[in-house]
């Protein structure tokens, strides 16, 4: 292990992306296929819609509505091989320090590894530790959910508020919303992330401190927003409970890797749920960061979610690339971003419970692959991470879909749907599914001027009513949104992100891009709060914005 660790901090040399044979071949191939319409591709192959599909681990993917043919797939798979994807997958799963800029292993897959398996980091099998924390979380959750855990005044806990931001918030919020149907409805869950005091104020306006449990979720336990909110929550709790410091132990728990800071804050480490530096923030919803999720859905459902993650991990690790869902989805993203120049990618879950899924994916994809240098530190010479965005269907159809259908941007879309409704109401679910199929069909095949004319449209109006089509999409269908299904879906995207990062030869697991703003804010805070007029040495714009704010603001009491 030690030898592997040593070599892993330096990236293994690889032929630059644009010099790889498959890349060059894809460039030539692109010129031919770019002009081919999906109408023709489907016309030439009546079985295309059945052939270009893949089913694994309970996920069905229809990728027939992509601007590809068999040669495209062959070349993309060749690109994966030339990019040493297999080797990189093995390196990640075996605990190599593939996050080279932070010298860390990348082992979210260990968080869902079954008891008894072994993944070694720095000479230690990390799996038993993962299960010890899961067991500790389960016993805590059972106590809170049953009412055995009492607040300081003896009242049972009815409100649970998670404080965290970024990876310590987006996963928990998304999972809570996604799995609400499975949640304990007698408990109220809230999530405070923003340093904007409104987030805190709205979360506490109608809850009783005596019945409120705070989870301070922070890997580092130093994040400005989280620690500011945590201290405000602490003051609010003490004020509401008569100022007794002992109350903190009953109303605060922590999820962190930083025991020293947790203790300093006043939380007993017995009430701290640990995770590790080999879990990236945006890959942590299945670690102790998911404590709020487990409190909401219960330990059994949480374990079912982990099993879903693990099933997709195993599929990704072992399936041949041509039958590998995340690999295929990742390669198709490369195809559009780097050859068609598509800058964004839309994600549209036709499932109301997944309303926060696009926001969650934004961090997963954009923080991971929004990078401008390769692992060797040289500037990339291709487009990396696309901008991910989306809203649940059918709402988006009545808003921004216009641009996807008739705008000038090519936006590959992921449509996600479930066969079973969680709330079967009349014909609603059939209508929902009819809409998702219709959108993918309309995007792919559009409507020709001839078709529009045939409908009796006056000539002047025809161009406005033409849909060019040839807009690509994935359709993902799963049986039902369950905790297990959610785990599979998240892992699918995690590994698709990894596939893309491997092709680009970038570090998908660091996030230096969020540092600079944080540092500058720390410099500006004292300048804003200074009682006397501070000497400012920023650019003229920043200087004058600070001065204007100092003049206009009202000092809060």
In three-state secondary structure terms, 191 is strand
Binding window for ligand G6Q (CB under 6 A); candidates: 100-108, 128-136, 220-228, 394-402? 220-228
When asked if residue 183 is in the footprint of ligand G6Q (CB under 6 A), the reply is no
Instruction: Quote the Cα angle for 354-133-203, to 5°.
Output: 45
Q: Residue 496's Cα: distance from chain center in Å?
A: 11
Binding window for ligand G6Q (CB under 6 A); candidates: 66-74, 81-89, 165-173, 334-342? 165-173
> What is the rounded distance in angstroms from the CA atom of residue 507 to the CA atom of residue 370?
10
When asked if residue 219 is in the footprint of ligand G6Q (CB under 6 A), the reply is yes
The reply to whether 518 belongs to the active site is yes
Q: Could you tell me the smallest distance in angstroms from the CB atom of residue 192 to ligand G6Q? A: 13
State which residue, 220 or 542, has the beta carbon closest to ligand G6Q.
220
Instruction: List the one residue from 151, 172, 209, 280 that touches ligand G6Q (CB under 6 A).
Output: 280
Burial of 92 (0-12, 13-18, 19+ CB in 10 A): buried
Task: Tokens for 132, please give them.
Answer: 């010890």
State which residue, 211 or 367, has the beta carbon closest to ligand G6Q.
367
Task: Tokens for 81, please give them.
Answer: 């091989």
Q: Could you tell me the smallest distance in angstroms from the CB atom of residue 304 to ligand G6Q? A: 25
> What is the rounded distance in angstroms from the CA atom of residue 82 to the CA atom of residue 17?
9
State which residue, 482 or 511, has the beta carbon closest to ligand G6Q.
511
Phi, psi at 398, each rounded to 5°: -95, 15
For the chain, the first-to-last Cα distance in angstroms comes to: 56
Q: Could you tell me the smallest distance in angstroms from the CB atom of residue 117 to ligand G6Q? A: 25
Instruction: List the one residue from 162, 223, 324, 439 that touches ligand G6Q (CB under 6 A).
Output: 223
Q: Could you tell me the smallest distance in angstroms from the CB atom of residue 283 to ligand G6Q? A: 7
- Among candidate residues 177, 225, 274, 367, the one labeled active-site is 367
CA distances for 278 relative to 86, 113, 514, 522, 555, angstroms: 21, 14, 19, 27, 42
When asked if residue 168 is in the footprint of ligand G6Q (CB under 6 A), the reply is yes
Binding window for ligand G6Q (CB under 6 A); candidates: 94-102, 215-223, 264-272, 538-546? 215-223
Residue from 232, 272, 222 nearest 252 by CA: 272
State which residue, 474 or 500, has the beta carbon closest to ligand G6Q.
500
State which residue, 280 or 487, has the beta carbon closest to ligand G6Q.
280
- CA dihedral over 501, 504, 509, 515, signed as positive or negative: negative
When asked if residue 166 is in the footprint of ligand G6Q (CB under 6 A), the reply is yes
In three-state secondary structure terms, 345 is strand
Binding window for ligand G6Q (CB under 6 A); candidates: 218-226, 347-355, 402-410, 531-539? 218-226
Contact call for residues 507 and 371 (beta carbons, < 8 A) = yes
Q: Could you tell me the smallest distance in angstroms from the CB atom of residue 90 to ligand G6Q? A: 23
Contact call for residues 503 and 22 (beta carbons, < 8 A) = no
- In the numeric block, the tokens 């996807």 are attached to 404
Instruction: Quote the Cα angle for 131-124-282, to 5°.
Output: 60
Q: Could you tell me the smallest distance in angstroms from the CB atom of residue 281 to ligand G6Q? A: 2
β-pairing, 59-62 with 473-478? antiparallel
Contact call for residues 152 and 240 (beta carbons, < 8 A) = no
Instruction: List the one residue from 281, 299, 446, 483 that touches ligand G6Q (CB under 6 A).
Output: 281
Task: Give the total residue count for the chain.
Answer: 557
DSSP bridge partners of 478: 59, 418
Other C-beta atoms closer than 10 Å to the C-beta of 493 total: 22
Binding window for ligand G6Q (CB under 6 A); candidates: 29-37, 161-169, 187-195, 327-335? 161-169
One character per residue 359-378, x = contact with ligand G6Q (rule: CB under 6 A): --------x-----------
User: Judged by CB under 6 A, how many residues of this single chain contact ligand G6Q?
Assistant: 14
One character per residue 39-78, x = contact with ligand G6Q (rule: CB under 6 A): ----------------------------------------
Residue from 363, 342, 331 nearest 504 by CA: 331
> What is the rounded distance in angstroms from the CA atom of residue 136 to the CA atom of residue 271?
9
> What is the rounded distance in angstroms from the CA atom of residue 368 to the CA atom of residue 357?
16
Binding window for ligand G6Q (CB under 6 A); candidates: 133-141, 152-160, 280-288, 379-387? 280-288
- Among candidate residues 31, 35, 379, 398, the one labeled active-site is 398
State which residue, 79 or 254, has the beta carbon closest to ligand G6Q.
254
When asked if residue 220 is in the footprint of ligand G6Q (CB under 6 A), the reply is yes
State which residue, 168 or 499, has the beta carbon closest to ligand G6Q.
168
Closest-CB residue for ligand G6Q?
Answer: 166
Full strand arrangement of the beta sheet holding 53-56: 53-56, 59-62, 473-478, 413-418, 344-350, 387-389
- Among candidate residues 245, 468, 518, 529, the one labeled active-site is 518
Contact call for residues 142 and 293 (beta carbons, < 8 A) = no
Task: Tokens for 299, please give them.
Answer: 């330990």
Q: Could you tell me the smallest distance in angstroms from the CB atom of residue 261 to ligand G6Q? A: 10
Binding window for ligand G6Q (CB under 6 A); candidates: 68-76, 200-208, 214-222, 428-436? 214-222
When asked if residue 385 is in the footprint of ligand G6Q (CB under 6 A), the reply is no
Q: Could you tell me the smallest distance in angstroms from the CB atom of residue 257 to ligand G6Q? A: 8
Instruction: List the one residue from 68, 79, 126, 165 that touches ligand G6Q (CB under 6 A).
Output: 165
> What is the rounded distance in angstroms from the CA atom of residue 445 to the CA atom of residue 514?
41
When asked if residue 469 is in the footprint of ligand G6Q (CB under 6 A), the reply is no
Task: Write out the catalytic residue numbers.
Answer: 367, 398, 518
Tell me which residues touch ligand G6Q (CB under 6 A). Answer: 165-168, 218-220, 223, 226, 280-282, 367, 511
């Amino acid at each position: 292990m030690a030898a592997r660790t040593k070599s892993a901090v330096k990236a293994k040399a690889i032929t630059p992306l644009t010099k790889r044979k498959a890349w060059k071949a894809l460039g030539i191939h692109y010129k031919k296929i770019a002009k081919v319409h999906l109408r023709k591709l489907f016309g030439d192959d009546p079985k295309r819609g059945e052939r270009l599909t893949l089913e694994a681990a309970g996920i069905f993917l229809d990728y027939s509505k992509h601007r590809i043919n068999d040669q495209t797939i062959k070349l993309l798979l060749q690109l994966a091989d030339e990019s040493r994807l297999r080797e990189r997958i093995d390196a990640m799963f075996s605990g190599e320090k593939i996050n080279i800029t932070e010298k860390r292993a990348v082992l979210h897959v260990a968080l869902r590894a079954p008891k008894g398996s072994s993944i070694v980091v720095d000479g230690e099998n990390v799996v038993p530790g993962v299960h010890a924390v899961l067991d500790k979380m389960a016993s805590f959750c059972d106590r809170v959910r049953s009412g055995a855990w009492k607040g300081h005044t003896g009242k049972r806990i009815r409100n649970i508020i998670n404080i965290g931001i970024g990876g310590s918030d987006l996963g928990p919020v998304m999972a809570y919303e996604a799995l609400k149907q499975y949640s304990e409805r007698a408990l109220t869950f809230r999530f405070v992330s923003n340093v904007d005091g409104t987030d805190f104020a709205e979360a506490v306006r109608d809850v009783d401190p005596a019945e409120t449990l705070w989870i301070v979720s922070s890997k580092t336990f130093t994040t400005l927003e989280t620690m500011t909110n945590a201290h405000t929550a602490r003051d609010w709790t003490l004020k509401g409970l008569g100022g007794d410091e002992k109350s903190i132990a009953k109303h605060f728990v922590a999820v962190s890797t930083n025991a020293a800071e947790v203790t300093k804050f006043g939380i007993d480490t017995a009430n701290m749920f640990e995770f590790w530096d080999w879990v990236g923030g945006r890959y942590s919803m299945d670690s102790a960061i998911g404590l709020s999720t487990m409190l909401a859905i219960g330990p059994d459902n949480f374990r079912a979610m982990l099993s879903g993650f693990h099933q997709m991990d195993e599929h990704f690790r072992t399936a041949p690339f041509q039958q590998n869902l995340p690999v295929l989805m990742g390669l198709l993203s490369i195809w559009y971003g780097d050859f068609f120049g598509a800058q964004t990618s839309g994600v549209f879950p036709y499932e109301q419970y997944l309303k926060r899924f696009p926001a969650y994916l934004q961090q997963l994809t954009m923080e991971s692959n929004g990078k401008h240098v390769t692992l060797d530190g040289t500037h990339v010479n291709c487009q990396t991470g696309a901008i991910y965005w989306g809203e649940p269907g059918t709402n988006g159809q009545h808003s921004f879909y216009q641009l996807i259908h008739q705008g000038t941007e090519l936006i590959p879309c992921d449509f996600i749907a479930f066969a079973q409704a969680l709330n079967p109401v009349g014909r609603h679910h059939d209508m929902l599914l009819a809409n998702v199929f219709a959108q993918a069909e309309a995007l792919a095949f559009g409507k020709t001027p001839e078709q529009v004319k045939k409908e009796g449209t006056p000539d002047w109006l025809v161009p406005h009513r033409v849909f060019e089509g040839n807009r690509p999409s994935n359709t993902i269908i799963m049986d039902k949104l369950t905790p297990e299904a959610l785990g599979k879906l998240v892992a699918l995207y995690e590994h698709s992100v990894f596939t893309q990062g491997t092709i680009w030869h970038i570090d998908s697991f660091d996030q230096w891009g969020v540092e600079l703003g944080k540092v500058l804010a720390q410099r500006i805070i004292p300048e804003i709060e200074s009682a006397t007029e501070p000497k400012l040495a920023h650019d003229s714009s920043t200087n004058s914005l600070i001065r204007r704010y100092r003049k206009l603001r009202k000092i809060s009491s």
